[in-house]
Structures are given as structure tokens and as C-alpha cells.
Amino acid sequence: MQNDSTRKRAHRGTGEGAIYREPNGLWAAAVELGQGPDGRRLRRKVRGRTKGIVLDKLTQMKSQAAAGSPVVDNRRSPADYLRWWSTDVLPGSVKDSTADDYRWILDHYVIPHLGHVPLGKLAPQHVHQMLRRLEDDGKSPRSRQYARAVLRRALGYAERWDMVTRNAAALVDDPRIAGSRLDDTLSPDQAKELLAAAKGTRLEALAVLVLRLGLRKGEALALLWDDVDLDAGRLQIHATLKRRPGQGLVRDVPKTSSSRRTLPLPSNCAAALRAHQLRQHAERQSLPIRTPDKRYVFTSPVGTPIDPRNVNRWWDQLCESAGIGHHRFHASRHTAATLLLDSGVALEVVSAILGHASIAITADVYAKVTADAKRRALSLLDDDDPFHQ
């Protein structure tokens, strides 16, 4: 008589494998199919109401394996697979900082919502539910899009290695993104008020550069004095400063290849940097421990790189001092682009100054800005309209 802790094994013929009766009355069998790309044993299990059904399933599974067709693992969890993929497969295929970002997205956005579904049974509806839950949690469309993109890349590897039969994330549409936010772009008058508030402060040059050249926050903070040639009137952008888990602040490669660029320095930018250099030298002389002479352009009072979060605080205080209301730091980049376009600078030149990957990005983001500029230009004809004389 069989109890709950034992299984009643049935007589089996040659090649049938280990077929047995489970306590719940179902027939079951297991088969070994070698090793997967991660070195784990590929052991599959099938169940059925009769021994014949199990034998049919077993035969089909062996045939699929022999023909090279995928035989998915319904026991392995997405959490187990995704952590293995991000640790053993991903490194070396992307930048270290990107791999860190991927792991963070997986741990905080993906795994908590998919960890309960067997990897082999992961379907588009599960990915859709994950995106809906992230939306309910208040995550932005861009964050949800990023979560799907990372999952899609991870499942693409699993699909190529026959660990899943399809890439469920590839079958789900991206969350809709409304576009870049431009509603807090500074007007020309607001930009003047902000520069006036920054006048004479230790980071005046930072305000001048981001409003005149549209530098990204990380690009500005990663600048070294070796990147700046005040005599020739130019600066080079070829790094970005970011905080990496476990490493603190590091200089990393820029966002895209087009982000690497050399920009001419307008006279007001060069003058601001010269004054900043003198101010920084005086600060360094007063420090009890001297910092290297040729290091970061923008530093804390003790000569260390500035944490991007502290720049946000500085910017908020500057906006308050200027009396212009709250504006994100990234609004400085939109402001620079808007001022350039309004001044008649060609779109392709603005795109190169901003370091966009393509002119299409610039055109898409600033379509409203260029439309407004055209409307103002055409309105000038109202005062001298040859058709109404």
C-alpha cells in the first residue's frame, strides 16, 4: 500500500524512462536532456491521467530534443534565469555602468512582478500585467519602456538557446511616451534672471555653460581642465560623471558616440571659465591638503567631484533666488536649444551642439519650438504685407 511520502512505480518497458504514479493519482515521468548553456541539467517532467498519455508526451519530448527543437523548462523561475543572465552573460556585452543599470531594473521592476511564473510558461499577458502594475506604482512611461527593453534582451538570449519557445516581451507593445517635457523651458527673460542670480557665485560658470551650450549634467560635471582650451576657445566632451553602485562617482563614456564632441566656446563662456579657474585656484590654495592641479572643472569646496544630486539642489536654490519658479536642471538643456533655434541657428547645427544621435531626435523633440519660431518670423510680415497695400 502506498502512502503520501512514497510513489508507486509502474512496470515499464525498455526506453520508457522512469514512469510512476503520484499520490494525487496522476502518472508522471522524467527525462534527462543534457545540459543548458548555463551548465545546468536539462531535466523535464511530464504528467497525465493515464500511463499512455505520459508515454506519448515523453516520446514527443525526446523527438523534439533529437530534432533540435526547444524543450522548455517549466520548473525554472524567471528570477533565477534573469539573475544568472545579468551576472554570467551580460557583462562584457555592454558597458559596466549599463550592466549595473540592467541589474537594477531587473531587481526592482521586472523580477518582483514575474518571479512567480515558470520561465517556460512566460507569456505576453504576463509581461503586459507587469507593465500595468508598474504603471499603477507610478512608474513613468520611460521607466516601463526600459523594463520591457531589458526583459526583451534577456529573453532573446533564452530564445536563441531554446530555453523558451518565444520571446514574450517582444510580443508586447512599448508603453506610449508622450515625448520630451518642454513645459518648464526657461524663457529668454528667465534665463537672464537666472544668470544674474548666479553672477559672482562659485558655480556661475556651470550655469553659463549649461544655458549656452546645452551640456548634459553628467557631461558638465565630468569636464577636466585638460578638456578645456581657453586660448583656442574650445572644449571637448568625451565623458560623463555618474554614481555607480559600490564605486561612488566615476567618469564613464558618454551616452552615445555622437555625444563625443568638440564645441567652440563663445566669449561669455570663455570669460566665465577664466573667472572660475581663478576662483578655484584660490580655493585650492586655502585647502589644508592640496588637490591635483589639473582635475575637475567643477568641484565641491574641498576639491572633489560634485555629486549630481547636489547639483540638483544647487539648481533649485538658484531658480528660487532668481524668482523664476521651479524648473528641472534638464530644462537648461531645452532652454539652450530653444534660444539657439530662436536665434536662427540651423537645426543640424543645434543637433551637433547638443550631441544628439541624429538630427531626427532634435527635430522630434523641438518640433513645437521650431513651429513657434516660424510663426513669429512670418508674423513680422504683417507690418509690411505687399498683398494688403
Average pLDDT per 10 consecutive residues for the chain, totaling 389 residues:
44 54 80 59 70 77 58 70 90 84 90 85 92 86 89 91 85 74 82 95 96 94 95 93 80 80 94 95 78 77 89 95 93 90 86 85 69 59 49
Q: Which pLDDT belongs to residue 180?
A: 59
**What are the backbone dihedrals phi and psi of residue 31, each rounded to the nearest 5 degrees, phi first?**
-145, 145
**Helix H segments across 161-256?**
188-198, 204-213, 217-221
Instruction: Report pLDDT for 273.
Output: 97
User: For 79, phi and psi rounded to 5 degrees?
Assistant: -60, -45
Which residues sit opposite 35 in a β-bridge?
41
Q: Where are the beta strands (DSSP E) in the chain?
A: 8-9, 18-21, 27-35, 41-48, 228-229, 234-237, 240-244, 248-252, 261-264
248-252 and 261-264 beta bridge pairing: unpaired
| pLDDT confidence of residue 251 | 87
| 313, 192 Cβ separation under 8 angstroms | no
Q: Measuring CA to CA, how many Å separate 51 from each of 21, 31, 244, 273?
A: 9, 15, 56, 82
**Helix H or strand E encompassing 281:** helix 267-286
Phi first, then psi: give them for residue 22, nearest 5 degrees. -90, 160
Spell out a b/e string for 112-137, using b for 16 or more CB atoms within 10 Å of the CB, else e: ebbeebebbebeeebbbebbeebeee
